[in-house]
Amino acid sequence: MDAPTPVDWLRTRADFPTLGRKIYLNTCSLGALSTQVRAAVNRHLDLWEEYGAAAWYTIWLAECAALRAATERLFNAAPGSVALAPSVGVALSTIGSALDYTQRPKIITTALDFPTIPYQWLARPDVEVVMLPSDDGISVPLERYAAAIDERTALVATSHVFFASGTIQPAREIAALAHAKGALCLIDGYQAAGQIPVDVAADDVDFYLSGGLKWLLGGTGIVELYVRPELVAQLEPTVTGWFAHERQFAFDVASFSYAPDARRFEIGTPALAAVYAAHAGIQLILEHGVAAIRQRELQLVADLVGRLREIDCALTMVDDPQQHAGIVMIRTASHAQIVSELAAQNIIVDHRPGHVRVSPFFYNTEEEHAILVAQMLRYR
Ligand SMILES: Cc1ncc(COP(=O)(O)O)c(C=O)c1O
């Protein structure tokens, strides 16, 4: 097989007008807007203007199907295994409503997961949430999962990449530990898909979530939920709607039967502008190739970390670059002030408690890092 043509990363910058005006190092909060995504949203608006509701059957439902299929490609997932939802919280509600907690009342999550995961189950009086601690704020040792998962565990729900440390978790090992005790495994890949390879089949996870917002460059309003095909028929979400019906357009008010594929996890009419944006974002990622993006990301993170260490910034991160994604956490008590002062200089980063968070993506450059780090000198 021919080697893929190397991507000219500098040229990709022309697709992102923001980069001409700002140093944008905040993809883990919100991916930069590309001309392709803007054009896709405009295409939706043009279709709306031209056809009105006539666009539904032939064009818009096909676009939803194309987004599910593109996601399946990205996740290495079987056809029919991806559903669309408006947010991770909604997708979790649907899954949460399909689990049986009578024999297995425990949900295991960790102190480093995004709060929308524990909140989903902390709000349920019938569920016992076990939150695995992290000693260093960077990672959670596998032994903690092994010790906590038991025959009373319904689900292990945790992140592929932790949002406030950038650590990549071993999804395959966590899924294997869950399965060994008959529990299910949900991986929140919102901070992973697009910047590191995802293979739901090889990792043997039961649920995998991602969305447009960050590393898939599609903006707000759409997340994608993978459900392992063998599991789909066993789960009947009670948080539901007409998009989950086997015969959606029969308009049969008297009876409800679930769609045979992952669509049974959908609820209602999706935000179509978001569907167009999410699809264009994933297409861009697939075009560049996640393996190539990851290689570039490793170079960029090494460059940024090297420059920050040179000026003695304290970083919260694992030592092994292979276990670390494109999120760099700089420890400081003045995080909010620094982020707003940098924004005034047209340098866009973010903060999380006790840290400035910097997240380079393939469209960033070493020169941008140098400018950021020169500013950071003021705050040492
Ligand atoms: C890992 C992770 N999960 C979930 C979310 C968001 O969840 P929701 O779609 O419910 O807003 C975020 C950030 O916005 C995140 O970083």
Question: Range(s) for CATH 3.90.1150.10 in the chain?
Answer: 9-34+290-379
Distance CA 359, CA 345 (A): 17
pLDDT at 5: 81
Residue type, 96: G
At residue 4, the pLDDT reads 72
Any idea what the Cα angle at residue 313 is, between residues 164 and 298, rounded to 5°? 60
- 88 Cβ closer than 6 Å to some ligand 1 atom: yes
CATH number of the structural domain 41-286:
3.40.640.10
Q: How far apart are CA 213 and CA 222, in angstroms?
A: 8
Q: Going from the first residue of the chain to its last (380 residues), give the mean pLDDT of each consecutive group of 10, the final group possibly shorter.
A: 81 98 98 98 98 95 98 98 98 98 98 97 96 98 98 98 98 98 98 98 98 98 98 97 96 96 98 98 98 98 98 96 98 96 97 96 98 93
Q: Atom 8 of ligand 1 has which residue's CA nearest to it?
A: 88
77-94 burial by CB neighbour count: b if 16+ within 10 A, else e? Answer: bbebbbbbbbbbebbbbb
The rounded Å distance from CA 57 to ligand 1 centre is 31
pLDDT value of position 2: 64
Mutate-to-test residue for ligand 1 from 26, 110, 114, 208, highest number of ligand atoms within 8 A of CB: 114
Whole-angstrom distance, CA of residue 59 vs CA of residue 46: 12
Phi and psi, residue 226, nearest 5°: -95, 135
Q: Are 361 and 349 in contact (CB under 8 A)?
A: no
Q: How far apart are CA 328 and CA 261, in angstroms?
A: 38
The atom of ligand 1 lying closest to the CA of 189 is 1
Q: Ligand 1 within 6 A of 158 CB?
A: no
**C-alpha 321 to ligand 1 mean position (Å):** 24
Q: Are 193 and 210 spatial neighbours (Cβ–Cβ below 8 Å)?
A: yes
Q: Determine which residue's CA is closest to atom 14 belonging to ligand 1.
A: 29
Angstrom distance (rounded) from CA 162 to CA 263: 28
State the Cα–Cα distance between residues 282 and 84, nearest whole angstrom: 14
Looking at the whole model, is its pTM more than 0.85?
yes
Distance CA(88)–CA(109), nearest Å, equals 15
**Which residues belong to CATH 3.40.640.10 in the chain?**
41-286
Q: Which CATH architecture has domain 9-34+290-379?
A: Alpha-Beta Complex (3.90)
